[in-house]
Amino acid sequence: MNLFYYSALAGLIGAAFTNGATYGFRFIGVKTSLPWEIAANVFLNPRFIYTPAGVVIGLAGTIALSTGIAIMIGYLLRWTGYNRAWLKGMICADAFGFITLGLAVNLFNIWPQLRNEPGTNLVALAVLSSLGMIQALLFQRWQRNLVWK
């Protein structure tokens, strides 16, 4: 199988983890926005975010972002090797998070309240770090099956 198949699989796993872990932080009392809320706000006006269509669009957005991170991690591991894959995955996912949450969200005014939510930023850092490690370890496990075309 090729990289994009495995990236899609890692993206689905990663999106489930990201949304679930962030919801877990919210459940224990951390004031944080959920990833699907921010992703839905990219495509929809705020009044449509919490509709069934908004939830589906937001979840699809998180799957796409998680798949994009997985593709980047896959190529990084191909170019640099699989030693310390967990660390490379963590760095790659955190860099992607800094670009999206730190730059794009503010530049395009996607989720304006993000600057007033330190919990969301801290949770995002923890979850993205874990996501990168998980996806890198999945690629390390799947490396024998990867076909680079």
Q: Whole-model pTM?
A: 0.92
Mean pLDDT for 104-129 is: 90
The mean of the pLDDT values for the chain is 93
**Domain layout of the chain by residue ranges:** 3-145
Tokens of 28: 């224990």
Q: Which of 113, 11, 135 is nearest to 62 (CA)?
A: 11
User: What is the model's pLDDT at position 149?
Assistant: 61
- pLDDT of 124 strictly over 90: yes
Instruction: Determine what percent of the chain is predicted with pLDDT higher than 90.
Output: 81
End-to-end CA distance of the chain: 10
User: What is the model's pLDDT at position 70?
Assistant: 97
Q: How far from the centroid of its chain's Cα atoms is residue 115's Cα?
A: 19
- pLDDT of 12 strictly over 70: yes
User: What is the model's pLDDT at position 110?
Assistant: 87
How far is it between the farthest Cα atoms of the chain? 47
28-56: per-residue pLDDT in tens?
999 999 999 999 999 999 999 999 999 99
75-109: per-residue pLDDT in tens?
999 999 999 999 999 999 999 999 988 888 888 88
Angle at 104 (CA atoms; ends 90, 92), nearest 5 degrees = 15
CA dist 39 → 36, 43, 131 (Å): 5, 7, 17
**Contact assessment for residue 130 and residue 21, using Cβ atoms and an 8 Å cutoff:** yes
User: What is the model's pLDDT at position 28?
Assistant: 97
- The rounded distance, in Å, linking the Cα atoms of 25 and 127 is 10
Judged by average pLDDT, the poorest of 30-44, 62-76, 97-111, 130-144 is 97-111
